[in-house]
Amino acid sequence: MTLPKIKHVRAFVVRGGGADYHDQGAGHWIDDHIATPMSRYPEYRQSRQSFGINVLGTLVVEIEAEDGTVGFAVTTGGEPAAFIVEKHLARFLEGRSPTEYEKIWDQMYFSTQYYGRKGLVVNAISGVDLALWDLLGKLRQEPVYHLLGGAVRDELQFYATGARPDVAKELGFIGGKMPLHHGPAEGAEGMKKNIAMIADMREKCGPDFWLMLDCWMALDVDYATRLAIAAHEHGLKWIEEAISPDDYWGYAELKRNVPKGMLVTTGEHEATRWGFRMLLEMDCCDIIQPDVGWCGGVTELLKISALADAHGKMVVPHGSSVYSYHFVITRHNSPFAEFLMMHPGPTEVVPMFHPQLLGEPVPQNGRMKASALDAPGFGVTLNPEIAMHRPYTH
Ligand SMILES: C[C@H](O)[C@H](O)[C@@H](O)[C@@H](O)C(=O)O
Ligand SMILES: [Mg+2]
């Protein structure tokens, strides 16, 4: 069966939530004094938006085939990523068959390697790759998870990320991951508050509910070790992204330091099979958490996941809406998924990439049947109401 060739690639920018989910309004839990590497500067401690966590905005990639079918995807990247898609990456897709996603990925990566390799450039490559898989699914009239080998279980189960693990428990999630609020610059006082938060949530959630801590790269090995030891008394299941993604040596040390039974996780700001090979071969963590919109897309996540499987490690992708759901349901070493609570409280389940994706499925009682993903491609459509801007053409 010959598929129509790719006719045109287009890149747009959208503001206000969606794939750049940190781009929220005032009073949202996700921007309330959360510890980061910038917390050493008091002026940037209260709000991550103050140092620019939402500076990029959402990148929308559209890939139109000769028969008019359009595949699309959203990720974090905004205007600079749109430039890279239009002025650099589009040349490797237009006139090609959408089935050539391996060669297209290889050319996108190695043609940008001199200025890319991680971060924004690989976000842009990921956005193109996800749009390509969406197009493939639409042309073949199959959901992406069928193209990836099919479901290995009937349903997804989710843990929830947000400031209210107690509400997550009531909503049926299997665990709650809360943000860390105080880093080393806030000294013993900050450490006390961090532990008090964990103790309080343990009290509210009972003894068995999974509780995890997301440290968003904010700590050093010593602080993270002391935090892990103190949090162990309250049954913390894992300590996430405690130190800089560049400090593979520090992660290996932290993993040796934490109390037996506590997991060390990281990876949402890591990219490509080579980055994750470092994390795996240096024994940095127990679970890797690539974001499929940032690590290189589905084509690359397949390679990363196989590498992790060979190392006996779990892959629990950083929450990225349908893009991670279609992957997780097809992998034995991805037994559960992340759901990022984007309600400001958070006290309700709302679609993660709201308002950008019409038809975006959400967990019911912390679970999602594989059949909820049964629509061509990633099964969502771009909300025509959102203001899209195309800053560059080619
Ligand atoms: C809650 C964390 O601070 C981040 O905002 C979150 O996006 C990410 O680290 C996660 O694991 O969901
Ligand atoms: Mg995280």
Tens of pLDDT along 283-337? 999 999 999 999 999 999 999 999 999 999 999 999 999 999 999 999 999 999 9
Whether residue 1 has pLDDT greater than 90: no
The question of ipTM being above 0.95 is answered as yes
**Over residues 190-219, mean pLDDT:** 98
pLDDT band at 339 (very low <50, low <70, confident <90, very high): very high
Quote the pTM value.
0.98
Angle between helices 221-232 and 248-257 (to 10 degrees): 30
Average pLDDT, the chain: 98
Selecting among 28, 181, 182, 318, the annotated active-site residue is 318
Measured in Å, residue 210 CA sits from the centre of ligand 2 at 15
Residues 168-183 have pLDDT tens digits of 999 999 999 999 999 9
Residues 36-46 have pLDDT tens digits of 999 999 999 99
3-state secondary structure of 62: strand
Task: Give the separation between CA 67 and CA 62, rounded to whole angstroms.
Answer: 14
The dihedrals phi and psi of 340, each to the nearest 5 degrees, come to -85, 120
Q: CA–CA distance from 198 to each of 163, 179, 210, 319 (Å)?
A: 11, 10, 12, 22
DSSP structural state of residue 67: T
**Over residues 182-189, mean pLDDT:** 98
List residues bridging with 124 in a β-sheet: none
Measured in Å, residue 330 CA sits from the centre of ligand 2 at 22
Of 161, 173, 289, 315, the residue with max ligand 1 atoms within 8 A of its CB, to mutate for a pocket test, comes to: 161
* DSSP sequence for 176-230: EEEE----GGGHHHHHHHHHHHHHHHHHHH-SSSEEEEE-TT---HHHHHHHHHH
Of 76, 212, 216, 240, the residue with max ligand 1 atoms within 8 A of its CB, to mutate for a pocket test, comes to: 216
Measured in Å, residue 292 CA sits from the centre of ligand 2 at 13
pLDDT for res 57: 98
Active-site residue, 318 included: yes
